[in-house]
Amino acid sequence: MKEYKRYMKKVFLILLGVVTSVLLPAQTLQQNESALVYYSPKTEIVLDFSYIIETQEAGPYAEYAEELLGALDFVKTDSTAYQLEGVKVHTRTLTDYNRPHKVSLTDGIPMLLTLNEKQILKGYNIAQHQDTPASPKPQPCVKKDAEKTAIRVAPYTDEVLKASDSTALAEAVAQQILHLRETRTYLLSGEVEHAPADGNAMRQVLAELDKQEQALTELFVGKRNRRTAHWTVTIQPEQAEQFFFFSAENGFTDGDNIDADTIRVELSLMAQTYLQKEEPVEEEITSKKKKCKKEVKPAEPEMSPIVYNLPGSAEIKVLYKNRLMAGKTVPVAQAGIDVPLPKCLFSEETLPVIIFNEKTGNIVSISK
């Protein structure tokens, strides 16, 4: 345990010492060169807006709703309204093809790199140290919601079919609704000769009566629907400001809509800078580097082609009607700097196990 702690302290001090103002040159493959190429990650910011859509659809007999059914709350005209609910800020990782890195056979380092599907460095020497993935737990069976279909209305009565105008038709439909209600009452009170044989059959009959009544009643009172929708937009962290527009009448729209309110997205990008070495720390680093004397120069350790990324960050504010909807600070990989690992880490008998953050390129852990 003591040896492990000394090893980790040594690694940390060496890494701190190599954070200098020296940037890596562009990585290009030469003709007939055998090398493994990987890339630094790139960050995009994703804004997921959620909003509510409320629709109202008037029934064809809306003008008779109060007179024939005594309904006071009914839809008189068709309308659609939108209400902005909130926004979630998250990031998406891409491959930064402007920041390639290569590890060649001539570098003298065991090529034990593991890349993900985006060609981003995932780890070094991790294949034989990865734990066996646990068997996925069986997921509970979740019944999917049945597809919504229009309610099939039972055949109209003779009175409905014989109606000569809209008023007579509305009266006949209202009578059919009243008949359905009476039938339900008789069933529940047991005043029918041929009642359903058991409770399950009774429930099915009552459910069907309810569906029929709902479908016919909607011809008078109309339909109301409320659902949540999403609008997603991707922006680059380098953009200082973005504007979007939301209208209570039209939802997300362009700036030409005079009824729309402004959504302002403010971004403040903070690029990563190299750490400045302090004198007391520098003396300790110099003493620790003596252990790598055989592989490195006296002044600075020799660098390997394996690099990690110190990401920058972006502060994001989303304002709607000049009020803060969301505020978040996220790491931004392309605002960072590439830092090479010292070559002496890979020249020992026991190679290190290094896990990288695939979203930022930073180091998650180093161990033996």
Q: Report the pLDDT value the prediction gives residue 359, as an integer from 0 to 100.
A: 95
Tens-place pLDDT, residues 295-335: 544 556 788 899 999 999 999 999 999 899 999 999 999 99
Q: Would you say residue 14 has pLDDT above 50?
A: no
Q: In this structure, what token pair is assigned to residue 361?
A: 């390129």
Give whichever of 23-37, 84-98, 145-159 has the largest mean pLDDT. 84-98
Q: Would you say residue 288 has pLDDT above 50?
A: no
User: Which amino acid, one-letter code, is at 34?
Assistant: S
What is the average pLDDT across 203-232? 92
Q: Would you say residue 161 has pLDDT above 90?
A: no
302 within some domain: yes
Q: Report the pLDDT value the prediction gives residue 108, as an integer from 0 to 100.
A: 84
324 within some domain: yes
pLDDT-above-70 percentage for the chain: 73
Q: Would you say residue 127 has pLDDT above 80?
A: no
Residue that wins the pLDDT comparison between 151 and 85 = 85
Tens-place pLDDT, residues 27-75: 555 555 578 899 999 999 999 999 999 999 999 999 999 988 888 899 9
Please give the mean pLDDT across all residues of the chain.
80
265 within some domain: yes
114 within some domain: yes
What is the average pLDDT across 170-191? 86
With beta carbons less than 8 A apart as the criterion, state whether 222 and 74 touch.
yes
Q: Report the pLDDT value the prediction gives residue 9, as an integer from 0 to 100.
A: 46
344 within some domain: yes
Evaluate the CA torsion angle 340, 114, 310, 98 in order and state its sign. Answer: positive
Q: Report the pLDDT value the prediction gives residue 200, as an integer from 0 to 100.
A: 87
Q: Report the pLDDT value the prediction gives residue 145, as an integer from 0 to 100.
A: 44
155 within some domain: no
Q: In the beta sheet, which residues pair with residue 310?
A: 337
The residue range of the domain holding 356 is 2-25+34-45+95-128+254-367
Count of structural domains, the chain: 1
Pairwise CA distance, residues 101 & 121, whole Å = 10
270 within some domain: yes
Q: Report the pLDDT value the prediction gives residue 128, as an integer from 0 to 100.
A: 55
With beta carbons less than 8 A apart as the criterion, state whether 75 and 56 touch.
yes
